Amino acid sequence: MSNNKVTRRQFLSYTLTGVGGFMAAGMLMPMVRFAIDPVLQKKDGGDFIPTDLAVADITEEPTRVDFSFEQVDAWYTSEVTSTAWVYNNGDGIVALSPICKHLGCTVNWAGDSDNPDKFHCACHDGLYEKSGKNVPGTPPRGPLDMYEVRESADGLLEIGVVVPNKLV
């Protein structure tokens, strides 16, 4: 045995420190797990979303295509519906985002009777060419974004992530 005797005060101090440490670890571990768990989850980002539109049915006239996908924010899962303006420009399929680059309003094809061959933003009379290029002299300062697109094995259009406009 050791000649160094542990006093009652030292014993109590060591015991309370050890018990306090275990209690703190017991409280902190769930908090740490809560904070880092979403980072450790496997994510399937960048997937293409199938639509009901056949690629063979896409014309040169922009058509509104609605598509839905499941969005996961940490532990909350929701069904999100989005829109794209899809047309065939001769070189391939183009899918433009309907979000105006001025203030985020929604643009419509032929939404203005004075400009039947342009995208029109009704919020501040913004205009875009068919390619998504903003018309000079109108509020938008940049072109509409595009979606990546591809054809599925069964001939349907699949829409991917938003990318900067490559046509302008």
* 80-133 residue pLDDT tens: 888 888 998 888 888 998 888 878 888 888 777 777 888 888 888 888 888 888
Q: What is the pLDDT of residues 22-53, one digit of tens each?
A: 999 999 998 888 888 777 776 665 588 888 88
Q: Looking at the whole model, is its pTM more than 0.75? A: no
Rounded CA separation 86/62 (Å): 5
Q: How many CB atoms lie under 10 A from the CB of residue 59?
A: 9
Q: Among 108, 104, 102, 60, which residue's Cα sits nearest to residue 84?
A: 108
Binned at pLDDT 50, 70 and 90, residue 12 comes out as very high
Query: What strands, in cross-sheet order, belong to the sheet with 63-73?
Result: 49-54, 156-163, 146-151, 93-96, 76-88, 63-73
pLDDT of residue 5: 87
CATH superfamily for 49-163 is Rieske [2Fe-2S] iron-sulphur domain (2.102.10.10)
Share of the chain above pLDDT 70, in %: 96
The pair phi, psi for residue 147, each rounded to 5°, is: -105, 145
pLDDT of residue 23: 95
Amino acid at 146: M
- Report the chain's mean pLDDT, rounded to a whole number: 84
State the average pLDDT over residues 143-163. 87
Q: Do 159 and 84 touch, CB atoms closer than 8 A? A: yes
